[in-house]
Amino acid sequence: MSSKLIMEKVFKYFPLRRSLVEILTFRPPRYVRAVDGVSFTVDEGEIFCLAGESGCGKTTTGRLIVRLLEFTGGRALYRPRKEILSEIPPQYIVEKEYVDLTAKLPRQVDKLLRRDVQIVFQDPYGSLNPRMRIYDILKEPLDIHGVGASEDEKREKVFKALEEVKLTPPEEFAERYPHMLSGGQRQRIGIARALILEPSLVVADEPVSMLDVSVRAEILQLMMDLKATRNLTYVFITHDLAVAAYICNRIGIMYLGTIVEKGPIDLIVNNPQHPYAKALIAAVPEPDPRNRFKIREVPIKGEIPSAANIPPGCRFHPRCPYAMDICKKEPPPEIEIEKGHTVSCWLYAKR
Amino acid sequence: MYKNGKVWNVSSALLNVNDLRIYYYTLTGVVRGVDGVSFQLQDGEVLGIAGESGCGKSTLGYGLLGLIPPPGRIAGGSVVLDGIDITKLKPAELRKVRWAKVSMVFQGAMNALNPVYTVGHQLAEPLVIHKGMSVKEALEVAGEMLKRVGLGPEVLGRYPHELSGGMKQRVMIAMALLLKPRLVIADEPTTALDVVIQAQIMNLFKEIKQRERNAMIFITHDLSLIAEVADKTAIMYAGKMVELGPSDNVFNNPAHPYTQGLLRSIPRLRGKEKITWIPGVPPDLRAPPPGCRFHPRCPYAMDVCRSEEPPTVEVEKGHTVSCWLYAKR
């Protein structure tokens, strides 16, 4: 098996605040079911994309992988790189080379995993401390994890990281503060910070959505170059299917806490099966002025409901143009349409 | 009525912007947000204005409504709308023109509605003020307008927080169309919305264009959205309009190196051609580079680009570009 990450029916529920009346009348607590039984695998060295509208749970899934949030349930097997794996006590290792991220892990294992799984945040304006110099921002992870024996060695690592994200000369950029950089340059700091501990899995949460189009391509290219030189695996979270089509190998399309369709990107872009995936792909605008004479067919109606109040059965049925009786009652099974391409929809179930 | 702004040599164009300059007078210097922009718009035409953040496209939009926030000011040029130069109007006169002749769909529909009034109240207000309608009449007209943007009349009684993002944006569009203005300016009308909702709103804009036949200026950073609605496309860079032409020409035969770079940097859903980017960053508009403002990032920069501002050259009929590459010397 060459999977880097195996997510098996993972859950993340956020409890809603209860009123005093609700507590006194023993009403059961209610939850926002942000991630509700998501399964996917990420292969070593691939770019796996999670896509969907806002509120679909893609960011929560990403944060679970980095363990910025705790899992509510499920199993998430992660295979660390060899050096990290050898330091992990054997009782925490499952199936020879995996660690279950949903298990309660001691601080020491936790810290090791944090070195190996890193995240690039969406907002390069909000994710860098404005009071820290770039040098300190990049040195902080080294200090925390005790990487680099001396200050000189750390300095060298910081400069190397800056060079790698093409912020040269590094001596000059290291002395600057975040406000002195453009959005694209800041996002490169975000990438350098994620990579300085030499992780093997990087979760990139909408890394280009806040950037201007003209610099987006540059950041995407940088991420692909770094992936090649450092043998990285990415979980790439985006709402922009055109970006996903450009960068990723496989994609999972999320809707209201579940993956409705997943598979190789080409198969999904050219042959989407789930009504939601079809609508999502039909809705992507393209820079062709001939489009102005035609209305885009986006058959689905309404907007995504709240994750605190998920419709029964298939959670997409209130918006689905093909909804049948069964969709309102039972959640759909996952069906393999072609090799590696699965869809969760009653339309494709043989009964 | 419009004594101060009346212009006598009325051209046939609905909107005639001539050498418009909008500067922000900040403590650290004069920011030339819009610096000498000229263009015309005919009745019923849709113009898309694209550019990176900070290129002055929103400032230009606000300028056309006379809504520049301080410390910004119109520093020169004219905006002649339907025979009236709005840069010369007094505030009271401007209020009569604004919304009646030109209206705006603001950026970020989420926050553009007043949270403490119902949608009906907010929609009725301009009708009462501009047309002297009674509240009852105004609500009737407002309900009718909501129907045209795909919302039911029950929305009139709701508060903004009871509406989804897409519905709020529809309300904003209804509001902009209420007084049947000749020109509607839409500033990033779909930025905060999801793709599916964005497509629905873009469809609504297309329907409005067909049905109402008013002129529209569509401001966005996303060239794909401009291609969805605009007949003409303008590209702005660092306060200047560097290219303007029919959308087919600008998209299929871009002339300015900046436009070419922008178009090559858009990832496509299908088709695997490599996307490229424009190196460098846009200039600080307090001290823009001399000559052509794009020269530090331009792959074709020549000596003349560094010292002299490029002339505006017509490369095809109706397709102009400000670039030395096309100047005959």
DSSP assigned state of A164 = H
Bridge-based pairing of strands A3-15 and A31-43 is antiparallel
Judge: A285–B225 Cβ closer than 8 Å, yes or no. yes
> Mean of the pLDDT values across residues B222-240?
94
pLDDT value for B265? 92
Contacts of A285 in chain B (CB under 8 A): 198-199, 202, 222, 224-225, 227-228
pLDDT score at B158: 94
Distance CA A83, CA B18 (A): 66
Residue whose C-alpha is closest to residue A284's, from B326, B246, B308, B271: B271
Angle of helix A275-282 relative to helix B195-212, nearest 10 degrees, comes to 50
Bridge partners of residue B237, in order along the sequence: B240
Tally helices (H) and strands (E) across chain A: 13, 13
Instruction: pLDDT band for B301, please (50, 70, 90 cuts).
Output: very high
Residues in chain B: 329
**Which CATH number is associated with domain A3-131+177-348?**
3.40.50.300
Instruction: Tell me which chain B residue has its CA closest to the CA of residue A306.
Output: B164
Paired with B218 in beta bridges are B48, B186
Q: Distance (Å) from the C-alpha of residue B95 to the closest C-alpha of chain A?
A: 33
User: How much is the ipTM here?
Assistant: 0.86
Give the whole-angstrom CA distance, residue A214 versus residue B105.
25
Write down the domain spans for chain A: 3-131+177-348
Residues B308-312, mean pLDDT to the nearest whole number: 94
For A297, the 3-state DSSP assignment is coil
Cα angle: A54, vertex A127, B198; to 5 degrees = 25
Q: Do A298 and B200 make contact, defined as CB atoms within 8 angstroms?
A: yes
Nearest to B139 by CA among B174, B186, B96: B174
Rounded to the nearest angstrom, the minimum Cα separation between B4 and chain A is 39
What part of B 47-76 touches A (C-beta under 8 Å)? Answer: 52-53
For chain A, which ranges sit under pLDDT 70? 1, 351
pLDDT of residue B109: 66
Tell me the CA distances in angstroms from B195 to A51, A163, B183, one per residue in order. 11, 36, 26
Rounded to a whole number, what is the distance in angstroms from the first to the last CA of chain B? 48
pLDDT digits (tens, 9 = 90+) for B96-137: 999 999 999 988 767 889 999 999 999 999 999 999 999 999
**Contact (CB, 8 A) for A202 and A232:** yes
- Average pLDDT rounded to a whole number, residues B258-284: 89
Q: Return d(Cα B163, Cα A51) in angstroms, integer.
A: 25
| Per-residue confidence (pLDDT) for residue B329, from 0 to 100 | 61
Mean pLDDT, residues B37-42: 94
Q: Are B50 and B229 in contact (CB under 8 A)?
A: no
d(CA B103, CA B65): 7
Task: Answer whether residue B2 shows pLDDT above 60.
Answer: no
Cβ of B230 within 8 Å of Cβ of A279? The answer is: no
For the whole model, what pTM was predicted?
0.89
Inter-chain CB proximity A279 and B196 less than 8 Å: yes
Residue A221 · residue A282 · CB < 8 Å: no
Q: 192-211 in B: which are within 8 Å (CB) of A?
A: 194-200, 202-203, 206-207
Q: How far apart are CA B93 and CA A27, in angstroms?
A: 60
DSSP A70-81: --SEEEEEE---
Q: How far apart are CA A265 and CA A345, in angstroms?
A: 19
| pLDDT for residue B1 is more than 80 | no
Q: Does B190 touch chain A (CB under 8 A)?
A: no
**Residue of B222, B227, B262 lying closest to A291 (CB–CB):** B227
Q: What is the pLDDT of residue B250?
A: 96
- Choose the weakest-confidence range: A149-163, B102-116, B227-241, B299-313: B102-116
**Cα B243-B245-B250 angle, rounded to 5 deg:** 75
Q: What is the reported pLDDT for A351?
A: 60
A-to-B residue pairs, Cβ atoms closer than 8 angstroms: 131
Average pLDDT, chain B: 90
Task: Work out the angle between the directed axes of helices A213-230 and A183-195 (0-180°, nearest 10).
Answer: 20
User: Residue A50 in 3-state DSSP?
Assistant: strand
- Please give the pLDDT value at position A309: 87
